[in-house]
Structure 1
Amino acid sequence: MSRKKQLPKWLALLLVLLLGLLLIITILKPSDQNSRSGVKLNSYVEKPVLPISPLPEVVPEVVVEPLELPLLQRVESGLALVIDDVGYDMPALRRILNLSIPVAIAVIPDAPYAEASATLAHEHGQMVMLHLPMEPSSEKYRKKMTPYFLHEKMDRQLLRETFLKGLAQVPYVEGVNNHMGSYLTEKSESMRWVMQLCREKELFFIDSKTSPKSVAADMAQALDVSWASRQIFLDHDLAPEAMQAAWQKAEACLAKGYRCVVIGHPHKETVAFLEAQFSSTGLDSLIPVAQLLRGGDAAVQAQLTAEERL
């Protein structure tokens, strides 16, 4: 048998040394992946850890209940101001509202700024009224009647529709008073229909008393509608001394312990008079017109019959 040839010892030792050297080089050399990416193992810098912001506190939703204003207590004596013919002059209305006195704003339904005026008055916490056009006695003014006027020739249904059309033009309405109406307010049947609708819509009525023969207050009382009547026109005459005399008459009415409803208009002279009157003295006894109403406080405003509701 032949003997296998063995490597010389020195050669074997050399091979072991070479293998060891290669192993050391392999360990010390960066990996190919790190070399390709250009990342140096000994140059890694740890990024600081940013603090985590706390979650915002959950605040439970607050449900705001609508504000319920107390009913105004009626009084046996007081002085209240109503401004008629509103809806044409917004700057004049703003000046009146800036007086910060209780004042009812009566808006004509077909005025160009009817809705805007009613909204502005409501935003200032003032009472809004529909200044409802009614047939006058004067032929001159009859020729100027618009489709919003109530007149004697209307049957019950047409009068109702016209009233409701006017009401739809003025938001936030709480009461009604007549614009003109020196003829219609004398007619019992027409005014009865008006009061039936006021009762249905829970509106009070203030008789502007453009006719001494007006039956508006009588019909309101008969149908248990809250009502009041005008005692004084502030600006029938626009002269400052005339308005001062009218106001003194209102103060005398109050001094006697009466209910005194004063009606004015947004004329520039009237606005200037009111600004002078209330910037200098003021009047603590000036109250909302709703406190001077009569009637309408029956046990239940009786349910309207089918006939009354049409």
Structure 2
Amino acid sequence: MTGACRRTALRLGLLLGLLSSAALAGGLADATPATAARPARLSLIIDDLGQHPARDRRVLALPGPVALAILPDTRHATSLAEQAHRAGKTVLLHLPMAPANGRFAWQPNLPRAELQSRLQAALLAVPYASGVNNHMGSVMTTQPQAMTELMRELQRRHLFFLDSRTSPRTVAAASAQREQLASLSRDVFLDDDASPEAVAERFQTAIALARRQGSVVLIGHPYDSTLALLERELPRLAALGIEWIDIGQMIAIRGNRAVAAHGRGGIYR
């Protein structure tokens, strides 16, 4: 898929996100299993990029629509975002959130003006970002007011949000849904345990989930074990009956609906 096609798919995803609240008001069923007419689909995001150029290059070299989540406070953030954009990849700002710290981090009790200033600075460090996902954030994503303010700001900037779901108490996706912001939630972390055996097991879990619920949103990190598995297994997805799609297409397909693990009737808990 070309860079132009990716951007078209993302725009469609954003439009459907804006329309999703009307559909949700009428009540939506949870995701349904893949069928012959509805293939199983997978979207892949690699977090924590911008720190190691050799690993970043391996991510860029993956053959399909991988999305790159780039940390703003890394030495290579800006140059990597520019390279990813030229390669037609989707760029995300991987925004640090408490318990993460640093000059870009969103933390509780910071005034609204400071939060907005940090977001603006982070977006300048990661040009061409189409959306934002949280780096860490097990504390910050549980703060309803801050998450509402974030989603309103992203709506104003025409950016989407991906909830990495680093806490079972996250309200980020629910806040995005209430604000009619185009958004997604992570289904599977590929490498909480970065041993090759564990990464392989999690990848198979993701494939099974895609088949069961029709789609899966998968997040990994630039570990050697993760990249080795992806380099080996991603070219085989089509033979497994899995369609690897851009994150914008996944937004369009899910239409801001929560899958069963994250809510009921399409509404995030």
TM-score range, shorter chain: 0.7 to 0.9
> How many Å separate the matches in 2 of 1:255 and 1:278?
16
Aligned to 2:122: 166
Aligned to 2:110: 154
Aligned to 2:8: 71
2:44 equivalent to 1:88: no
Aligned to 2:182: 226
Between Structure 1 and Structure 2, the one with more strand by share is 2
How much has 1:269 moved relative to structure 2? 1.7
Aligned to 2:23: none
| Larger RCO (CA within 8 A; separation ≥ 6) | 2
> How many Å separate the matches in 1 of 2:94 and 2:4?
26
Aligned 1:172-191 pairs, distance under 5 A = 172-191=128-147
CA contact 1:106–1:128 (8 Å) conserved in 2: yes
The number of residue pairs the alignment matches comes to 223
CA contact 2:237–2:243 (8 Å) conserved in 1: no
How much has 1:149 moved relative to structure 2? 0.4
What SS does structure 1 have at the residue aligned with 2:244? coil
Aligned to 1:63: none
CA contact 2:199–2:225 (8 Å) conserved in 1: no
Structure 2 counterpart of 1:272, from 207, 228, 237: 228
How much has 1:287 moved relative to structure 2? 0.8
How much has 1:90 moved relative to structure 2? 1.5
Q: State the TM-score, normalizing by the size of structure 1.
A: 0.68
What SS does structure 2 have at the residue aligned with 1:285? strand
Aligned to 1:50: none
CA contact 2:43–2:245 (8 Å) conserved in 1: yes
Aligned to 2:81: 118
Structure 2 counterpart of 1:290, from 229, 235, 248: 248
What SS does structure 2 have at the residue aligned with 1:71? helix
Aligned 1:1-310 pairs, distance under 5 A = 69=5, 71-72=8-9, 78-136=41-99, 145-279=101-235, 281-283=236-238, 284-293=242-251, 294-295=254-255
Q: Read off the aligned partner of 1:212 and give its amino acid letter.
A: P
CA contact 1:82–1:105 (8 Å) conserved in 2: yes
> How many Å separate the matches in 2 of 1:201 and 1:135?
23
CA contact 1:78–1:257 (8 Å) conserved in 2: no
> How many Å separate the matches in 2 of 1:127 and 1:89?
19
How much has 1:267 moved relative to structure 2? 1.3
> How many Å separate the matches in 1 of 2:4 and 2:132?
23
Q: State the TM-score, normalizing by the size of structure 2.
A: 0.78
Structure 1: segments with no counterpart, 5+ residues: 1-66, 137-141, 297-310
How much has 1:295 moved relative to structure 2? 4.8
> How many Å separate the matches in 2 of 1:173 and 1:68?
15
Structure ID, larger Rg: 1
Q: Deviations over 1:257-305 (max 9, x none)?
A: 33311100111221112112235x2445111111222557xxxxxxxxx
How much has 1:256 moved relative to structure 2? 1.2
CA contact 1:221–1:295 (8 Å) conserved in 2: no
Q: Read off the aligned partner of 1:289 and give its amino acid letter.
A: I
Report % sequence identity: 37
Give me the CA root mean square deviation.
2.1
